[in-house]
């Protein structure tokens, strides 16, 4: 009788099934790995698209005419503030110089500046041995007359006259000459 060994066939079949299972498992892991990488890539791609959309929106807002106009206005205001700060610095330097140079003269300029009414802006103050010349502008001629009258109230000048007033749109430019009283101009020399 022939002896049939059925176990060998089952053994070969079992080894073959294990090998197929291992191949199937490796293929499954590889497919899972590719799926994971593909999902991660798709997720990052969507994030990049969202960021690009946000960047595009922000760049549109930044290049809008209204924002550029506002930035231009702010820059003009900064320049105006810097100019005014520089002028104020010049005035402070003049004040320090005058305090050191001549107490009476500084007091005289201080009294004149206290008489400046609202609406008058002084552009320059020049002086020689006998005359102080003030140039400036005011909102109207009445304000200039009030300024002249308030200077007359100081009683430090023999003559105050305004040789020139010119009107330009809403502003009146003036030059005012003031002559010292005798005795006081000697103190300033």
Query: What integer is the mean pLDDT of 110-124?
Result: 87
In DSSP terms, which residues pair with 122 in a beta bridge? 136
Give the pLDDT of residue 9.
54
Domain ranges of the chain: 1-63, 116-188
Phi, psi of 177 (to 5 degrees): -110, 135
pLDDT > 70 fraction of the chain, expressed in percent and rounded: 86
Give the pLDDT of residue 175.
93
The answer to whether the predicted template modeling score (pTM) of the entire model surpasses 0.85 is no
Give the pLDDT of residue 52.
95
Predicted confidence band at 187 (pLDDT cuts at 50, 70, 90)? very low
Give the pLDDT of residue 84.
92
Instruction: Tell me whether residue 165 is exposed, middle or buried, using C-beta atoms within 10 angstroms of its C-beta: 0 to 12, 13 to 18, 19 or more.
Output: middle
Give the pLDDT of residue 135.
92
- pLDDT tens, position by position, 44-72: 999 999 999 999 988 888 777 788 888 89
- pLDDT tens, position by position, 76-111: 999 999 999 999 898 888 878 767 766 677 777 888
Give the pLDDT of residue 188.
42
Give the pLDDT of residue 63.
77
Angle 65-101/103-114 helices, nearest 10 degrees? Answer: 140
Please identify which residue in the block is written with the tokens 């702010």: 74
CATH number of 116-188: 3.30.70.2830
Give the pLDDT of residue 26.
94
Nearest to 180 by CA among 163, 162, 160, 158: 158
């Amino acid at each position: 009788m022939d002896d049939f060994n059925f176990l060998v066939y089952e053994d070969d079949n079992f080894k073959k099934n294990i090998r197929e299972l291992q191949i199937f498992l490796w293929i499954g892991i590889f497919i899972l790995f590719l799926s994971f990488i593909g999902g991660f890539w798709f997720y990052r791609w969507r994030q990049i698209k969202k960021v690009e959309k946000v960047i595009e929106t922000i760049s549109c807002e930044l290049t809008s005419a209204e924002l550029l106009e506002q930035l231009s206005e702010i820059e003009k205001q900064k320049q105006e503030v810097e100019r005014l700060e520089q002028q104020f610095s010049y005035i402070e330097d003049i004040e320090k110089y005058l305090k050191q140079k001549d107490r009476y003269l500084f007091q005289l300029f201080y009294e004149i500046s206290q008489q400046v009414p609202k609406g008058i802006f002084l552009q320059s103050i020049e002086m020689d041995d006998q005359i102080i010349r003030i140039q400036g502008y005011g909102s109207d001629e009445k304000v200039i007359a009030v300024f002249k009258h308030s200077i007359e109230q100081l009683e430090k000048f023999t003559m105050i006259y305004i040789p020139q007033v010119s009107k330009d749109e809403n502003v009146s430019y003036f030059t005012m000459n003031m002559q010292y009283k005798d005795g006081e101009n000697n103190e300033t020399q």
